[in-house]
Each structure stands twice: as C-alpha cells, then as structure tokens.
Structure 1
Amino acid sequence: MIKTTEQVASADGTLIAYQRQGDGPVLIMVGGGLDDGSENGPLAAELADTFTVINYSRRGRGDSTDTAPYAVERELEDLAALAAEAGSDPVRLFGASSGGALALEAAAAGLAVDRVAVYEVPYLIGDEAVRSWREYVSEVTAIVADGRPDDALARFMKLAGMGEADIDGARTSPEWAASSALAHTLPYDAACLGDGSPPQRFEGLGVPVLVIIGDQGRELFEPAAVALTETLPNATRRDLAGQGHVADPATLADELRGFLAG
C-alpha cells in the first residue's frame, strides 16, 4: 500500500490519496487492476529525477475512500482533482494495464494532457475474446455484488488464463488476502475497458500516445497494441525485451523518460 502523505477531494467528495515526489513536469501514474498504487511505486521513484510524479490510489483502494454508485466519470474527476492539486495544466499520464484505458479515457474526455503512455492495456480483440470478456464482466459484477471477493478474484484469474489447480494454489499464497481486499474494484476496471475494445472515439485523440508491451506478453497484448496504434492518430509503438506484465522499473522508466519529457 502507498504510504500516503496527501489527499485531495474529488468532485463527489471522495478523498483520493496520493504520494508526490520529484521535480519537473507533472506526471500522474494510473494503476491497473488489483493495485492500490504499490505496483507503480518503484517506477515513480525511477522517474522522480525528471518529473513531479503523482502516484495515487484509485478510489476504493488503499487510503482512498469510495462513493457509490461507481462510474468511470467519477474516476475522470479524480484525475482532474489530482491535476488541479498539482497546479499543472497540462499534465502527462502513464497508465498500466487497465489504468492505461483510464488514462486514455481521461485524455479523450478533455483533461488537459499533453502526452500519454500506456503499458499493456488488456483490450480484447476478436469475436471469441469479446464474448469471453462480456461473460466475465457479467459474472464478476454479480459476484462482487453478492459480497464474495475471493470468488471474484478467482474469476479474474480465470480470465487471465489460470487453471483451476493454479487458482486453488494461489488461494494459499501470501498475496491472496491483499488481492482479495481489492477484488471489489474489479468491476471498476471492467468499466474502464468498456466493451473490451479500443473505442472509436479514440480516433479523435490527437495527443501523442506511447503504446508499450513487453515481449513476454506478446501473445496476449500484441492484438490490443496493434488495435490501439491503428485507432489513435498520433501513436508510437515500443516493445520491451525480456519484460512481462509488471515490467522492470528501470527498463520501463528509460523508455518513458524520453517520450514523456519531449
């Protein structure tokens, strides 16, 4: 969990916890599924030599509060509140996994952004993938509403390709409890990804966007990266050798620094 030093109130009164470090242009880091900001922490430290990095806990996670009902628009307001608190217009955004979809949604909605970088956004491409995605969204939403976070986490792992035996083994791991505590936010990430494919409105997003994947996840994330670079009018594609879904912070920082500082 982020050891927060500051909070800012979003438009609906939700308190968004964040950590600020470094000096330079403002870069807001958007975490993905089952993350309270911790995953981006080492990357934030790497980039603090170039940017004022705002690494935050999305609503319902870590020390951030939550307000029902959920809507993607509320998360966009959270980002706007963070940008206003940082006193920067425009800001840069980096989003990991489903956080990348949220970062792109913020830019498309009109947040003052001059550059966006995303890492392995898990859009689904193809009829079968979209069918599986819709089935997952329906099921995980119902499971969360029923108050069964462990089952929601297991359903997410199934979507990610894990078998039943591996999921059963994961239930006894030290990481299970922390992930289960965030499982109620899985429908939030699903909402950020919409119908599972890059929306056509991204065709009007003119800001420069860097689309990155690691070569270890090529089979899963290559179709999404191709679709994004074809949809976004000002996109650049980069592949990182030897990297999985959680990339080495120093390696990813080197790629981000050159693009986001431009």
Structure 2
Amino acid sequence: MDKNISSRDGTLLAYESAGRGTPIVLVSGAMSTGATLAPLAAPLSERFRVVVYDRRGRGASGDTAPYAVEREVEDLAALIDAVGGEAALYGVSSGGALALRAAASGLPLRHVAVYETPFAMSAEDLAERARYTEELTAALAEGRRGEAVELFLRLTGLGEAVIEGARQSPMWAAMESMAPSLAYDDAVMGDGDVPRELLSEIGVPVLSIAGEASPAWMREAARAIAESVPRGTYRALGGQTHMVEPDVLAPVLADFFKG
C-alpha cells in the first residue's frame, strides 16, 4: 500500500489505486487485507479506478479503540472522499455486509455489489453464530488468538484435520496476528440474520452474487439480500465457490458498474 489517509477518528488507513474512471472501492472479508483482492483489482482497473485498502486493524492500516462498525463506515467515507467524493463498492463475504451498511448509511455511492455475504438462513445457523460470538469474545479477551482463529475456521466449515494443517503452516503466525479483527467482522455481521429493514433503506442498485457450486444456503442468503433491497439483483455464477475466480467475477462486476 503506497498511500495513507486519516479517518474521522484519526486512524491511518493504507490504500492504493490503479486505473482511471469511476472509482470502485473493494472491501475485503475476514482474515484478509487489501492485497487479497489484488487479483480482482487488476482486470477491473482496465476500465475503472480501482481502490484496495487494508481495513482497520489489519495489514498496514492502524487501529483505534474502542471499535464500532460506524468507524469502518467512516473509513469508507474517508476513502471515497479521497478518490473524488463518489464511488461504487464491492464487498466479499463479511466485507459485503460492511458495504451494505455503508450504503444504508447514505454514503455517496453509485452502485454496490456483494459476493456471498454469509447471513444465516436458519434458526440453527443463527444459534451457531451466537455461540461463535460468545466463544470468540472470550478467546480474544483472554489473549487466546490461536483459538480465535480456530473458531473462525470451524465456522467456515473447515474440518479438524485441515485446521491442524493450517496451524502447522508458515501462515499461522500471520493469521494469529490478525485474529483481533475477527471481532470486527463479527460485529459487522450483526446477529447473523439478514438485516432486511436496514437493506430496505439502500437507494442505490445492488448486485448480490453467489457461486452455483457453493452451499445452497449461501445462494439463499445472496438472493435474500437482493430481494430485500429496493433495487436489488441476484446473480449466480456457474462453477464458482466462495473462492470465486477473479477472471469470472470481473466481467460481471464491470457490466454492473458501467451501468
């Protein structure tokens, strides 16, 4: 990241941009930084000015206590102001929830696209989210960062053998360093239910996307978002999972954003 701006509370945010035209801000999900979205930014930058940034508490960006979702919305407001005063947003996973909250807050946006924002679609899933929040809060309060990461990986559906393999990998130390930001993504997701009332306040066009190879509940959640937004559209991408291929996603986003 080669640029910095100051958010409303003084937190320094690291970002970079490439390309020309309408600004598109890419919002990463849990356990990721702006660099995670670089493979998607590259093809989009051929048609737009694409901005990637490290959300507060991760990467090269700073952090300021106490955390509140509103501070992350203010971070996006500062970025949008820095790149011309109006932009479109794309958010992946829990980053999609942040993008939707930013849109509902009235930020100067043209379009919002989200990919597989993981809202719960059953009472059982909501109960699981509640347990996750309770256990994550306790683990982070007691400094058990490794356990916090494990809790998140289990929530995503990874098995114990895969989690143990991750623990033994060179990436584990970096994952533990980012563990406190898991609480931020958890807060952005709210109680895990589709925030239909909040979504009904979004006035800009919203494209909610899912992969056809993802679990059915992911597609149901994506469709529920589109149905809850006054100007919402649902799109399923053939053969794609939660780890969507940038070369498949980029043309879909470009067609939507150019409108």
TM-score (norm 2): 0.96
CA offsets 1:3-58 (integer angstroms, 9 cap, x no match): x1100000000000001110000110100000011221110111001111110000
User: Take 2:235 and 2:172, find their aligned partners in 1: how far apart are those partners?
Assistant: 32
Choose the corresponding residue for 1:5, options 2, 5, 11: 2
TM-superposition CA deviations, 1:136-185 (whole Å, max 9, x none)? 01111221121111110000111112232322222112332222221110
Matched, 1:164 2:163: no
Query: Is 1:260–2:254 an aligned residue pair?
Result: no
2:195 counterpart of 1:195: no
Q: Answer whether contact 2:101 2:198 (CA < 8 A) is retained.
A: no
Q: Deviations over 1:58-110 (max 9, x none)?
A: 0011100000000000000000000111123x210000100000000001011
Letter in 2 for 1:155: L
Residue 252 (structure 1) shift:
0.6
Structure 1 unaligned regions, length at least 5: none
* In the alignment, structure 1 residue 104 sits paired with structure 2 residue 93: no
Shift of residue 207, structure 1, vs aligned partner: 0.9
- 1:240 aligned partner: 237
2:169 to 173, 177, 181: 173
Q: 1:132 aligns with which of 128, 135, 140?
A: 128
Percent of aligned pairs sharing the same letter: 47
Q: Which shows bigger deviation, 239-248 or 23-32?
A: 239-248
> Which residue is equivalent to 1:123?
119
| Greater alpha carbon shift after TM alignment, 167-176 vs 205-214 | 167-176
* Corresponding position of 1:81: 78
Alignment partner of 1:40: what SS?
helix
Determine which of 11, 16, 29 is the counterpart of 1:14: 11
Amino acid corresponding to residue 65 of structure 1 in structure 2: G
Aligned residue pairs, count: 258
State the Cα deviation string for residues 203-253 of structure 1 (Å, max 9, x = none).
121210001111221324122112212211111111111212121111110
Specify which of 61, 65, 78 is matched with residue 62 of structure 2.
Answer: 65
Partner of 2:31: 34
Q: Which aligned segments of 4 or more residues in structure 1 are displaced greater than 3 angstroms?
A: none
CA distance in 1, matches of 2:210, 2:171: 25
Distance in 1 (CA, whole Å) between partners of 2:252 and 2:215 is 18
Instruction: Tell me, in whole angstroms, the C-alpha distance in 2 between the residues paired with 1:226 and 1:241.
Output: 15
The corresponding residue for 2:224 is: 227
Instruction: Give structure 2 stretches of 5+ with no counterpart.
Output: none
Give the secondary-structure state (helix, strand or coil) at the position aligned to 2:24: strand
Measured in 2, the distance between the counterparts of 1:239 and 1:126 equals 21
SS of match in other structure, 2:215:
helix
Q: Which amino acid aligns with 1:170?
A: A
Paired AA for residue 125 in structure 1: M
Cα distance in 1, alignment partners of residues 3 and 192 from structure 2: 34
- For the residue of structure 1 that corresponds to 2:146, the secondary structure is helix
Letter in 2 for 1:106: A
Structure-2 separation of matches of 1:250 and 1:117: 16
Rounded to whole Å, the distance in 1 between the matches of 2:82 and 2:226 is 31
Q: Which residue is equivalent to 2:142?
A: 146
Tell me which moved more, 161-170 or 137-146: 161-170
One-letter identity of the residue aligned with 1:5: D
**Amino acid of the structure 2 residue aligned with 1:46:** P
Q: Which amino acid aligns with 1:119?
A: Y
- Which amino acid is the alignment partner of residue 198 of structure 1? V
